[in-house]
């Protein structure tokens, strides 16, 4: 998330790769029937399919009445209620559907492995304005509308008789990892997984990110410090005082050379999205989590820093000692890639941890 270009390329903020290669045989994937009517566009596009799970394409409705596309998977061998993994996605406006993840699409590959290898049900949602989901276009939508959509999708789990709502796991990816407790609210959860995520203020996150970006750009130490001083005031006006980047630059034209993104937003989302992230108190959110938490970060993550991720574990453990585990994986990037390959032990590590929270059983 150092620049808009890196974000779009790297799923950093996080994007799903725009270029995909087929890893499974082509054709239209059979879809289990749901109560919702499928759009012609949906019927014609390639669908997901899994060796060990069936896919249900359904809908959830938010408070505005928008229909939001949900993706539910059910293990083919399920004869009783099974645990469920609820996914909270990344920042960018890419679909969470993954029929053909590219070989270097770490997020898509992790999703598919957890779906196909867990023996659990899963539920995902395309945020408002993405894919078939209705609502304000994603690049214009704020965080609150996105959060309400996730909450509606979470509540929709109650209608599936094969989902055990007493055995719910939350998996948050990148931006989604920081806010997963806001999705489940006070519903009992067996565990949270926050992968490549953040638990501080968005202001702190962005200042650290800007420093790294300036270093990468080859600026001298003096230039970096001078620019970070300006960015600290810039982000105060933008994130905390509520101005758009363009309005900030109107007041301070001397900063125009520092700004690299849109006048009304950043990384493909509007300014209001980030102002609402800044208004969150994630320390408070996570200190109230009493369920087990697994925080995962790669040491080569250039999007979410060690401090961003460690803050989640620290917030939980300060109030509930030992409930959070922080796992940093050597050389792994934000997108779960190590030396051009997806870290193969990531899904097994997560599943082993989940099974431990269920007493070692499925």
Residue 339 located in a structural domain: yes
Which of 277, 303, 324 is the last residue in one of the domains? 277
Same domain, 193 and 159: yes
* 282 part of a folded domain: no
- Which pLDDT belongs to residue 3? 33
In a domain, 284, yes or no: no
Q: Is residue 3 part of a domain?
A: no
- Domain membership of residue 47 (yes or no) is yes
Q: What is the pLDDT of residue 11?
A: 39
Q: What is the 3-state secondary structure (H, E, C) of the chain?
A: CCCHHHHHHHCCCCCCCCCCCCCCCCCCCCCECCCCCCCHHHHHCCCCCCCCEEEEEEEEECCCCCEEEEEEEEECCCCCCEEEEEEECCCCCCCCCCCCCCCCCHHHHHHHHHHHHCCCEEEEECCCCCCCCCCCCHHHCCHHHHHHHHHHHHHHHHHCCCEEEEEEEEEEECHHHHHHHHHHCCCCCCEEEEECCCCCCHHHHHHHHHHHHHHHCCCCHHHHHHHHHHHHHHHHHHHHCCCCHHHHHHHCHHHCCCCCCCCCEECCEEHHHHHHHHHCCHHHHHHCCCCCEEEEEECCCCCCCHHHHHHHHHHHHHHCCCCEEEEEECCCCCCCEECCEECCCHHHHHHHHHHHHCCCCC
**193 and 332 housed in the same domain:** yes
Spatial distance between the Cα atoms of 34 and 53, rounded to a whole number of angstroms: 16
Residues 212 and 193 in one domain: no
Which pLDDT score is estimated for 46?
Answer: 80
pLDDT at 329: 98
Same domain, 259 and 322: no
Q: Which domain holds residue 273?
A: 202-277
In-domain check, residue 11:
no
**According to the model, what pLDDT value does residue 361 have?**
56
Domain end: 212, 246, 277, which one? 277
Residue 163 token pair: 């989902």
* Tens digit of pLDDT at every position of the chain (362 positions): 333 333 333 333 333 322 222 222 222 222 333 333 444 444 456 889 999 999 999 999 999 999 999 999 999 999 999 999 999 999 999 999 999 999 899 999 999 999 999 999 999 999 999 999 999 999 999 999 999 999 999 999 999 999 999 999 999 999 999 999 999 998 999 999 999 999 999 999 999 999 999 999 999 999 999 999 999 999 999 999 999 999 999 999 999 999 999 999 999 999 999 999 999 999 999 999 999 999 999 999 999 999 999 999 999 999 999 999 999 999 999 999 999 999 999 999 999 999 999 996 55
Query: Do 141 and 189 belong together in one domain?
Result: yes
The answer to whether residues 206 and 328 belong to one domain is: no
242 lies in the same domain as 175: no
Check whether residue 217 and residue 343 sit in a common domain. no
Provide the pLDDT for residue 171.
98
Q: What is the pTM of this model?
A: 0.89
């Amino acid at each position: 998330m150092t620049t808009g270009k890196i974000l779009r390329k790297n799923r950093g903020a996080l994007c799903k790769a725009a270029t995909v290669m087929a890893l499974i045989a082509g054709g239209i994937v059979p879809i289990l029937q749901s109560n919702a009517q499928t759009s012609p566009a949906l019927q014609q596009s390639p669908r997901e399919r899994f060796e060990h799970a069936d896919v249900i394409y359904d809908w959830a409705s938010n408070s505005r009445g928008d229909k939001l596309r949900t993706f539910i998977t059910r293990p083919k061998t399920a004869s009783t209620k099974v645990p469920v993994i609820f996914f909270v996605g990344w920042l960018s406006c890419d679909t969470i559907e993954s029929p053909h993840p590219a070989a270097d699409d770490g997020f898509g590959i992790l999703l598919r492995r957890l779906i196909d290898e867990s023996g659990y049900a899963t539920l995902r949602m395309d945020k408002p304005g993405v894919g078939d989901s209705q609502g304000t276009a994603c690049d214009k939508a704020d965080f609150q509308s996105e959060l309400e959509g996730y909450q509606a999708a979470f509540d929709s789990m109650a209608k599936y008789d094969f989902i055990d709502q007493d055995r719910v796991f939350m998996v948050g990816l990148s931006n989604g990892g920081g806010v997963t407790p806001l999705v489940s609210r006070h519903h009992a959860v067996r565990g949270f997984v926050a992968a490549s995520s953040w638990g501080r203020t968005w202001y702190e996150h962005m200042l650290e990110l800007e420093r790294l970006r300036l270093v990468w750009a080859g600026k001298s130490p003096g230039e970096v410090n001078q620019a970070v001083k300006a960015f600290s005031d810039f982000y105060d006006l933008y994130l905390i005082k509520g101005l758009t980047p363009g309005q900030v630059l109107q007041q301070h034209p001397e900063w125009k050379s520092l700004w690299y993104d849109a006048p009304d937003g950043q990384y493909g989302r509007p300014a209001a999205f980030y102002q609402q992230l800044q208004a969150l108190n994630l320390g408070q959110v996570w200190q109230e989590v009493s369920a087990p938490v697994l925080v995962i970060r790669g040491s080569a993550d250039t999007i979410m820093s060690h401090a961003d991720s460690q803050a989640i574990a620290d917030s939980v453990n300060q109030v509930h000692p030992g409930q959070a585990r922080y796992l940093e994986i050597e050389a792994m990037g934000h997108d779960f890639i190590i030396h051009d390959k997806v870290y193969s032990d990531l899904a097994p590590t997560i599943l082993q941890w989940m099974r431990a929270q269920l007493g070692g059983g499925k």
